Structure 1
Amino acid sequence: MLVWKPRPTTPEHKARQVLSAVQHMHVTFKDEVWLWRGEAEDRYRLEPGMHTRVIRSGTPPGQVQAVTDQRTTELLDEARAGGLDHSPADQSYPDLALLAHLQHYGAATPLLDVSVDPLIAFWMAVFADADDPTKADSKDHLDGRILGILRPADDRWLSPEENREFTQVATQSQSGYLWYRPPYVAERLRIQRGSFILGAYRSPQDESTLNMDLGDPDSDFLAERMRRMGLRGQPAQRTAEVICFKIPKSSKPYLRELLISRSGLDAETVYPVAWTDHPIESFAKRFGRTVPL
């Protein structure tokens, strides 16, 4: 994976460097649109929660995709049996919309959360605990990262009206990852401009289990673009579908200050909880990333 790190300087200046670098990639190149994902710690692979559960169960690599599809279908059946497949207006959710709803409340699914808004990604990276980001187990002592995933061509977009069964869509993802824009089945999705990547499993590399081009480090277009940020001329040609920006742990407090003072984001805005959400939160915890199959 191609990685950019801020230059050695003060933690506050590093925070501003990372924000500027991500925004540069977000707005500058008209033929590229990046979808953003923030992670509070940079020590894990880019890996959907369902892949994590299946791999930890000891499933052989050659069977991971089949078991992922099977367990996802079982998860959908369980959610429907629990009455979680209907909106407050009693509309029935199709498979992908239900998976999006479960994913946003912590269930392990094959979906990978992304946002069209890089500031939301920064929030997720520096507010691992929205109520008290500096407490001992909040991951504030760990370096974080912002991941950019190239938005695929529009023939690989899944619309909010997508109503095929999950297994049909999973078959389509075998030939390249998909971008799913869900209906706003939860207020959190609307606030966070949330959408999802769905890709097929491939034998794990060091950095991802998804069928994405992570690029050749010997042709690091990201470093060249950062070096020429603000300069006119032909930009370095893109050579990867995933890019990574490191967030030093010492810069997290300054990023939080910038986000709160400059964007108006706070915990109540990013994580609105309605009284109707409590059943699905309880359900999702039973099917989380670390829960054995």
Structure 2
Amino acid sequence: MKLYKSDLFGDIKQPESFLELLGLITENNIEGSFNVKMWRGQGDINWRIDSGAYRRLAYSSNHDKNIRELDIANYEMTLLRQAKHKGFGYSKGRRLSDFELLAKLQHHGAATRFVDFSKNCLVALWFCIDNSLDKTGLLFGVHTDYLGGNLEGSIRNLDDTYNEFMLGLSKYDVPFFIEPPVVSPRIAAQHGVFLY
């Protein structure tokens, strides 16, 4: 199989047909483990995989370029306060937890620390090729052996406040898998999950 040399991601396998791509997707690269992956498709291989919150702060003209955890937490708490003030903290008459509200905001275009992934490689492939036909896209898979979190459902303590939720995440040194509750039909249709 051909290799694509990327300055950002190194040598990447470059399938030349859909069948070759399916072979790559179903290949188990880690002996004795499950072949479940989280998938992300992006239209330009030259884009880094950063959260929207990180990019928002890193490219803001009024912020220094050394982004710390506290900067992102303060940004997200402000985002939550603004969303609740505007009345977005409810869905079907039920008050959303901070986590649910962040998931809803993310899927409607807000910049959070969540990074969108899908459990369906074909959904991710669509995002890889949809917008940038003149660019080389990237279909990025993450093996679940390298993730923290509950891989088959919602997280525990969903009703935690933002601060409680963040304290719970601080014990992980790997990306944390989160499957949000369905607060948007769009999340369900895309088999949407997040890495946090």
Same fold (TM over 0.5): yes
CA contact (8 A) 2:148 2:177 kept: no
1:72 and 2:76 aligned = yes
CA distance in 2 between counterparts of 1:153 and 1:4 reads 19
Aligned AA for 1:186? S
2:12 is matched with which residue?
Answer: 4
The Cα of 1:161 is off from its aligned counterpart by 6.0
Residues 160-206 of structure 1 show CA distances to partners (whole Å, capped at 9, x for unaligned) of: 761212233333334322111111000011111111111xxxxxxxx
1:59 and 2:64 aligned = yes
The Cα of 1:69 is off from its aligned counterpart by 0.3
1:85 and 2:89 aligned = yes
CA distance in 2 between counterparts of 1:81 and 1:115 reads 30
CA distance in 2 between counterparts of 1:110 and 1:100 reads 10
Aligned AA for 2:134? H
1:142 and 2:147 aligned = no
CA contact (8 A) 1:160 1:180 kept: no
Indicate the structure with greater strand content. 2
Please, what TM-score do these two structures have when normalized by structure 1?
0.56
CA contact (8 A) 2:27 2:35 kept: no
Aligned AA for 2:98? D
Q: How does 1:105-124 map to 2 (within 5 A)?
A: 105-124=108-127
Aligned AA for 1:65? E
2:179 is matched with which residue?
Answer: 181
Match of 1:5, SS state, is strand
CA contact (8 A) 1:51 1:64 kept: no
Q: Root-mean-square deviation (CA), in Å?
A: 2.5
Change (3 A) 1:74 1:36: same
Aligned identity (percent) is: 22
The Cα of 1:75 is off from its aligned counterpart by 0.3
Q: 1:191 aligns with which of 181, 189, 192?
A: 189
2:159 is matched with which residue?
Answer: 163
CA distance in 1 between counterparts of 2:146 and 2:12 reads 25
Change (3 A) 1:100 1:55: same
Aligned AA for 1:184? V
CA distance in 2 between counterparts of 1:148 and 1:73 reads 30
**Structure 1 residue runs of 4 or more that deviate by more than 4 Å after TM superposition:** 152-155
Q: Which stretches in structure 1 are left out of the alignment for 5+ residues?
A: 8-12, 129-138, 199-293
CA distance in 2 between counterparts of 1:97 and 1:152 reads 25
Residues 214-246 of structure 1 show CA distances to partners (whole Å, capped at 9, x for unaligned) of: xxxxxxxxxxxxxxxxxxxxxxxxxxxxxxxxx
Match of 1:156, SS state, is coil
CA distance in 2 between counterparts of 1:51 and 1:4 reads 25
2:5 is matched with which residue?
Answer: none
CA distance in 1 between counterparts of 2:14 and 2:176 reads 31
Q: How does 1:248-287 map to 2 (within 5 A)?
A: none
1:18 and 2:21 aligned = yes
CA contact (8 A) 1:152 1:178 kept: no
Change (3 A) 1:80 1:160: farther
Match of 2:166, SS state, is helix
Larger-Rg structure: 1
Aligned AA for 1:34? K
Residues 134-167 of structure 1 show CA distances to partners (whole Å, capped at 9, x for unaligned) of: xxxxx11000011112325786335276121223
Indicate the structure with greater helix content. 1
